[in-house]
Structure formats: C-alpha cells, structure tokens
Amino acid sequence: MAKIAELSGGEFRYIKTQSHQPLDPQRFLNAVKTIEDAYGRNNNLKTEYRQRMSMAREFMTDGELAFAEYIIRPLRHADPSQIDNPILCRILLNILDEELGAARLEDFGNAAEVKLWLQEHRP
C-alpha cells in the first residue's frame, strides 16, 4: 500500500482489518452507478479504466478490498494500451490478489442491495 501511495502521490496509512467483509454497500452501489451512467453507452475505455483505478484505490485505502477488486476487475485482461498506468494497475491487482486470495465480492454475505445488483449484472 505504501508503494501505491508513493506511485499515485498519496499518503499511506495502515488500516488493520479482521476480515475482508465489505462494510459500505451504498458506497459500492454509488460507485458502480457512476460507472454505468458515465460509460454504459460510451466506449471510451481509457477514461473508464482511469475512473475504475481511481475508485479502486479509494476503496483499498479504506479497507474495502472486495469492492475494490470488483471495480477494477475489468482491467485484469484489458489491453495495456487502454490503461494510463499499467504498472500501477498490475500493482493494485497483485495487492488485491495477495490480500483476498481466491475470495471475490460474490463470495461474501453482502447487503441485500449488493446481492440484487450482482444478480442483475452477471456477465
């Protein structure tokens, strides 16, 4: 996390979590709505990916790792030329993978609103 802060011009602070259970479902729903509203009809992937990385960093900073992984997930297999900072993206994904292991947002007992959203947005 210190490396992310250094690379992105932010500050590092450690927040110890006992579990990776998501805590703020409304924040997540607001984030995905922002993405859907801004990019749902627009194919500007570079701008969308920039927004997703920014949101993922914010979620990670606050210990919301499962939400961060979901937000940044589309970048896992994205064309690196569409990502402003592919090195930072890889670092974020590596941190999430190390912290979460194989667990993903879908594996947690989410709030009813998040469960409904996930059901409606299955690929």
Minimal CA–CA distance to 65: which of 34, 101, 30, 38?
A: 101
Please state whether the predicted TM-score (pTM) of the whole model is above 0.85.
Answer: no
Tell me what pLDDT residue 16 has: 45
Minimal CA–CA distance to 25: which of 55, 69, 64, 77?
A: 64
Tell me what pLDDT residue 62 has: 85
- Whether residue 67 contacts residue 23, with contact meaning beta carbons closer than 8 Å, is answered with no
What's the DSSP call for residue 13? -
Tell me what pLDDT residue 35 has: 87
Q: Taking the chain (123 residues) in consecutive chunks of 10 residues, what is each chunk's mean pLDDT?
A: 81 61 80 85 84 94 90 94 94 91 82 78 65
Tell me what pLDDT residue 99 has: 87
Spatial neighbors of 22 by CB under 8 A, at least 6 apart, are 28, 64, 66, 67, 105, 108, 110, 111, 114
Tell me what pLDDT residue 15 has: 56
Domains of the chain, residue spans: 2-8+22-120
